[in-house]
Amino acid sequence: MIKGKLIKRYKRFLADVELSNGDIVVAHCTNSGSMKSCIEPGADVYLSTSNNPNRKTKYTWELINIDSGWVGINTLLPNQLVYEALEQNYIPEIKGYINFFREVTFEDSRFDIYAENYTEKCFIEIKNVTYKVGKYALFPDSVSSRGTKHLYSLIRAKKQGFRAIIFYLIQRTDIEILSVARSVDPEYAAALERAIDNGVEVIAYQTITNPPYIQIHKRVPFELFKSG
């Protein structure tokens, strides 16, 4: 990866970055959310590069340094990390599956991972978390109608006999607990509460980052109703 300093993010999917040699480049930002608590002009960032001639920019914004810790802002990475961890039986709560498939359709939704063994079938939807308030990691950081739709789809899958999991991957280490951002998206919060009542499991893990390496680190407790 290439190191630089963030100048600004704009049009949601673009960011200007000054490289160490003084060049200013445009990087693609995969994160469509507000990126609350992880935007700081002048902060150190890391970009990855691509040689794909069909891309509008060769750079993708991967990491930003906030309060002396790295925050992963690439929303495409959690799917890859969790998929690899599941294949290696690294996550104790989701062990014992034989086959894993990515981007599997169920009714009018598409879930990130489908896992199965001889006795059980499981849908897993993965969400990237970067928003922080105090000791809490919060999701979502902006209204997420797509996320709400996924929760109701998980409820229906559970009722049809599937194991259903919403998996939050927190790409920062300066938090202690995960909760839902009710003030940001009350509908999502209500859907999550209903999903839990209907047997959808909530699993949250935290990553640890030491550029250029990132790995799933440990499980984080979840509180439906944030306290304090």
User: pLDDT tens, 42-51?
Assistant: 999 999 998 8
The single-letter DSSP state of residue 141 is: S
| pLDDT at residue 53 in the model | 80
**Residue 139: which of 98, 88, 178 has the closest Cα?**
178
Is the distance from CB of 91 to CB of 133 less than 8 angstroms?
A: no
Domains present along the chain, CATH in parentheses: 2-72 (2.40.50.580), 77-223 (3.40.1350.60)
| pLDDT at residue 93 in the model | 95
| pLDDT at residue 227 in the model | 61
* Helices marked H in the chain: 77-87, 145-159, 186-197
| pLDDT at residue 213 in the model | 85
**Residue 192: which of 217, 228, 223, 159 has the closest Cα?**
223
Q: How far apart are the first and last CA of the chain?
A: 38
**Residue 91: which of 100, 43, 131, 35 has the closest Cα?**
100
- Regions of the chain where pLDDT drops below 70: 227-228
**Residue 116: which of 108, 104, 126, 132 has the closest Cα?**
104
Distances (CA, A) of 197 to 135, 151, 152, 167, 221: 26, 12, 12, 16, 18
Phi, psi angles (nearest 5°) of residue 179: -145, 180
| pLDDT at residue 51 in the model | 84
Tallying the residues shown for the chain, one arrives at: 228
| pLDDT at residue 32 in the model | 85
Q: How do residues 150-178 score in pLDDT, each as one tens digit?
A: 999 999 999 999 999 999 999 999 999 99
